[in-house]
């Protein structure tokens, strides 16, 4: 019995690309620490270009830390990492975090549009604050990105109103628009729908489906059904370790590890 399980585990490759996808980000032996506490243990994952990768796992398993270390947002919370994260062939620790974050954008759990800015200015905040001031070009970018974020029709008449006046779901799509306005290559999403109602959640999921044509998306989620619906690949984290990383379909129909199966069938976590 034991032997069978061992063989089964080893036959599953931990690293993707599984079908010769282009590797966008390659994470090698990543460990992360906050002070002396280790929150990620030796994680290695390859992330394919223009795919959606879902990270699932119980609370406190290091999902968010993993996501944040990719665009060095862990540094904001004074975390440290060892190991390597290679983005387009370059070590992210050698890239200026300001430039890195323009290439790898991030959407947070709670919608956080800037309260002192209008809808319009929220979308182009990243561009404007980095010195891009061509009014006409900005207008075009706002329309384009809001359409991409499926928000244009709802807000086109309230461009000059505060972003804080929108509903939660609209705010989150505004934040997604703000992220794609600076034209990143990768979008990190940290439980983007967990603060939203089912209808708004469905809209965000649809949006993710659209966005993966142009962007590589890594999404942390608590919602297993969501992971199954939106992602191409799924990684299961538990206690800071990567337990399993596989094609989403495979993961949810025949997981290789017992822990994964227990988690996705709701036996723990």
Binding to another protein by residue 9, rule CB under 8 A? no
Q: Among residues 203, 151, 158, which one has the least CA distance to residue 175?
A: 151
Binding to another protein by residue 73, rule CB under 8 A? yes
Rank residues 35 and 266 by Cβ distance to another protein and give the closer one: 35
Q: How far apart are CA 117 and CA 215, in angstroms?
A: 26
Residues 137-176 that bind another protein (CB under 8 A): 161-162, 164-165, 175
The alpha carbon of residue 234 and the mean position of all alpha carbons in its chain are separated, in whole angstroms, by 12
Q: What are the backbone dihedrals phi and psi of residue 245, each rounded to the nearest 5 degrees, phi first?
A: -140, 115
Rank residues 149 and 228 by Cβ distance to another protein and give the closer one: 149
Residues 74-113 that bind another protein (CB under 8 A): 76, 97-102, 105-106, 108, 110, 112
Binding to another protein by residue 129, rule CB under 8 A? yes
Rank residues 42 and 162 by Cβ distance to another protein and give the closer one: 162
Q: How far apart are CA 267 and CA 99, in angstroms?
A: 42
Q: What is the CB neighbour count within 10 angstroms for residue 152?
A: 16
Per-residue CA distances from 133 to 126, 127, 129, 137, 143 (Å): 11, 8, 9, 8, 16
CB of 156 to another protein, least distance (A): 18
Rank residues 14 and 110 by Cβ distance to another protein and give the closer one: 110
> Angle at which helices 168-181 and 198-211 pack, to 10 degrees?
20
Rank residues 23 and 117 by Cβ distance to another protein and give the closer one: 117
Rank residues 106 and 242 by Cβ distance to another protein and give the closer one: 106
**Contact residues for 70 (Cβ-Cβ < 8 A; gap 6+):** 25, 27, 85, 87, 92, 104, 186, 188, 218
CB of 100 to another protein, least distance (A): 8
Q: Which residues of this protein are in contact with another protein, per CB under 8 A?
A: 71, 73, 76, 97-102, 105-106, 108, 110, 112, 114-116, 118, 125-126, 129-130, 161-162, 164-165, 175, 178-179, 182
């Amino acid at each position: 019995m034991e032997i069978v399980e061992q063989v089964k585990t080893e036959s599953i490759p931990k690293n993707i690309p599984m079908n010769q996808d282009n590797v966008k980000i390659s994470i090698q032996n990543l460990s992360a620490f906050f002070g002396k506490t280790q929150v990620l243990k030796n994680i290695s994952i390859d992330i394919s270009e223009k795919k959606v990768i879902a990270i699932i796992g119980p609370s406190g398993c290091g999902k968010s830390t993993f996501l944040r270390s990719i665009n060095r947002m862990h540094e904001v919370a004074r975390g440290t990492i060892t190991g390597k994260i290679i983005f387009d062939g370059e070590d992210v620790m050698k890239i200026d975090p300001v430039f890195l974050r323009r290439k790898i954008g991030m959407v947070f759990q709670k919608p956080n549009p800037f309260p002192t800015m209008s809808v319009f200015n929220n979308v182009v905040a990243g561009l404007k604050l980095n010195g891009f001031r061509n009014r006409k070009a900005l207008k075009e970018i706002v329309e384009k990105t809001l359409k991409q974020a499926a928000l244009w029709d709802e807000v086109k008449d309230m461009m000059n109103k505060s972003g804080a006046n929108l509903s939660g779901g609209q705010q989150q799509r505004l934040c997604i628009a703000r992220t794609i306005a600076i034209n990143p290559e990768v979008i990190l999403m940290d439980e983007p729908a967990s603060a939203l109602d089912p209808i708004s959640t469905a809209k965000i999921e649809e949006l993710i489906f659209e966005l993966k044509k142009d962007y590589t998306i890594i999404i942390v989620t608590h919602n297993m059904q969501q992971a199954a619906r939106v992602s191409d690949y799924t990684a299961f984290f538990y206690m800071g370790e990567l337990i399993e990383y596989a094609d989403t379909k495979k993961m949810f129909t025949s997981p290789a590890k017992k822990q994964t199966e227990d988690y996705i069938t709701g036996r723990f976590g």
